[in-house]
Amino acid sequence: MTEQITNDEQIQDVITKEIRPYIEMDGGQIQFIEYRNNIVFVELAGACGSCPSSTMTLKGGVERILKRRFPDIVSVELAGLNTIFSH
């Protein structure tokens, strides 16, 4: 098992167990996409997909929690088609 796989799994575990329940309480959904170059990419859907406060949720909530747990993370960003297919 490589370090990258371990990081992906650890990040995904925090998103699933600690962040997703709060997002779902407001009708939203969050999905881990990838961790690359110390940046976590996620997708927001449901109520979060069209919410004008989704950027605040992403940066003030999700990013803050993940950076506290994983100091090597520099940012959490929304995944786009260019992110997903740029491997």
| Whole-structure pTM value | 0.83
Mean of the per-residue pLDDT values of the chain: 86
Q: What is the pLDDT at residue 5?
A: 55
Q: What is the pLDDT at residue 48?
A: 82
Q: What is the pLDDT at residue 76?
A: 96
| Residue 27 φ/ψ, nearest 5 degrees | 85, 10
Give the single-character DSSP code of 83: H
Q: What is the pLDDT at residue 57?
A: 87
User: Which portions of the chain are predicted below pLDDT 50?
Assistant: 1, 82-87
Residue ranges and CATH numbers for the domains of the chain are 3-84 (3.30.300.130)
